[in-house]
Amino acid sequence: MTDHLHETPLTPWHDAHGGRMVDFAGWRMPVQYSSIVEEHLATRQAAGMFDVSHMGRLSIVGPAAVDWLESLLTRTMAGVGVGRCRYTLVTTDEAVLDDALVSREADASDGTPRLGLVVNASNRERVVAWLRSRLPATGVVLADHTRETAMIAVQGPRAMEIVCGLCRPSDAARVGGLASYTATKASVAGHAAAISRTGYTGEDGVEIVVPVAVACEVWEAIHDAGRSAGLRACGLGARDTLRLEAGMPLYGHELREDSDPFAIGLGLAMSLDGRSFPGRDRFSAMRSQPASRVRAGLVFDSKRTAREGHTVLIGDRTVGTVTSGSFAPTVGTAVAMALLDRAVAVPGTAVDVLVRDTKQSGRVVPLPFYRRRA
Task: Judge contact between 9 and 216, C-beta under 8 A.
Answer: yes
Query: Quick one: which of 330, 354, 335 has its CA closest to 41?
Result: 330
* Secondary structure of residue 59 in the 3-state scheme: strand
Q: pLDDT digit string (tens) for 247-259?
A: 999 999 999 999 9
Query: Quick one: which of 104, 105, 101 has its CA closest to 89?
Result: 101
DSSP 8-state assignment for residue 215: H
Q: pLDDT digit string (tens) for 166-193?
A: 999 999 999 999 999 999 999 999 999 9
**Which element (helix H / strand E) includes 44?**
helix 36-45
Q: pLDDT digit string (tens) for 289-312?
A: 999 999 999 999 888 999 999 999
pLDDT at 266: 98
Across 200-217, average pLDDT: 98
Domains and CATH numbers, the chain: 6-53+148-245 (3.30.1360.120), 292-374 (2.40.30.110)
CA dist 166 to 227, 250, 368, Å? 13, 31, 32
Residue 324 to residue 252: CA distance in whole angstroms: 10
Going across the sheet that includes 114-119, the strands are 85-91, 96-105, 114-119, 56-61, 141-144
Evaluated on CA atoms 283, 284, 285, 288, the torsion sign reads positive
pLDDT at 3: 62
Neighbour count for residue 312 (Cβ, 10 Å): 25
Q: pLDDT digit string (tens) for 58-84?
A: 999 999 999 999 999 999 998 899 999
pLDDT at 1: 43
Task: Judge contact between 234 and 73, C-beta under 8 A.
Answer: no
Bridge pairing between strands 27-32 and 6-7: parallel
DSSP string, 118-160: EE-GGGHHHHHHHHHHT--SSS-EEEE-GGGEEEEEEESTTHH
Mean pLDDT (the chain, rounded): 97
Across 154-176, average pLDDT: 97
Residue 282 to residue 274: CA distance in whole angstroms: 15
